[in-house]
Amino acid sequence: MTLPIYLDYHATTPVDPRVVEAMLPYFTREFGNAASRTHAFGWAARDAVEEARARVADLVGAAANEIVFTSGATESDNLAVRGIAGASRDGGSHIITCVSEHTAVLDTCRAVERQGTRVTYLPVRPDGRVDPDAVAAAIGPDTVLVSVMAANNEIGVLQPVAEIGAVARARGVLFHTDAAQAVGHVRLDVEDVQADLVSMSAHKMYGPKGVGALYVRRRRPRVPLVEQMSGGGHERGMRSGTLNVPAIVGFGAAAALCAAEMSAEAERVRALRDRLHRQLCDRLDDVRVNGSMTHRLPNNLNLSFARLEGESLLMAIDDIAVSSGAACTSASRDPSHVLMALGLGEDLARASIRFGLGRWTTDEDIDYVVQKVASVVGRLREMSPLRTAGVDA
């Protein structure tokens, strides 16, 4: 075991050494521009990109020509939401999403609202899941898109995307899911969930930062998108810009590894996650699990520790890399919008920790984390002005 211990795999993952090895030639020897059509350097780069495209497509059950490479899931979310809103301005102007989405979706929905698109923000149940019947009830004649994430980035809850996709398809509405936290960790097939648009990110699945993809269905139905980046017509006109070939190659390598190893890896980290949960609850009282444990990513555990101040807890376990919410909003002093959506009070939301396990988490890591967190929580509770409050504070 080496300190500090990294348990923030939802924020980002280390690049697998096998992925790095696949990428290295494309920084030096195979450095061509994939858009260069007149010489061998460009052809080699193009071939590498297309192989990676096929690997990413295989991971989600798509056709290779339905994968559009982007800079990451945030750009993919923007392309999906803005692209559909822009393409359907004349024929419909209503989007449905939910209150616990990633800010990449929520902020983009607010942006298209300012441009005249109507957006419905559905609540979630206390377990963090959206009710598919609520989606059906919200669909109207002007609805053009439903956007519900596959797995929540804070509480790890798996949404009923297959049921939501079926509702959307039956009503002739496009369905987008931000699957950045799900792809590579749990099985997600675009046909099974009837998704029309799926956002992905390489650095959430042991690939490099700065590259992602958007699955865009091409048949039954063919999804209309207005491009958000112009200048060259790259990626079939959906996303212009010189392709980051080394990163795309890395994305493809990471996707292939996940396809081969995902099931065994999920079983291993789920066992570690459950041991972490069980042992912390054995040693501490007033510990609350946030979100469904039945419908959850195998590597996620989000806990609230009543009767203490969350910031003090994070500072006291500085040799364990965890977070109190999403990495993209970690500078905010506001309590997590996801936890507030579950009905937690501000004090309890602020006293919450997200544990994200991953490929290199060990038994020894879990033993140390249990001992350290239990000891620190006990000590801080003795000192806390909140020590008399209950678990539902």
Contact 63, 189 (CB under 8 A): no
Q: 245-283 and 40-60 are packed helices; what angle lies between their axes, rounded to 10 degrees? A: 30
Contact 312, 380 (CB under 8 A): yes
Residues 6+ apart with CB under 8 A from 302: 154, 155, 156, 289, 290, 291, 339, 352, 353, 354, 355
Displacement of CA 127 from its chain's centroid (Å):
18
Cα dist. 220→81, 162, 224, 320, 353 in Å? 19, 17, 12, 48, 42
Half-sphere exposure of 307 (CA within 13 A, CB side): 17
In the residue annotation, 109 being an active-site residue is answered as no
Cα dist. 147→178, 197, 200, 202 in Å? 8, 9, 14, 21
Catalytic residues: 328
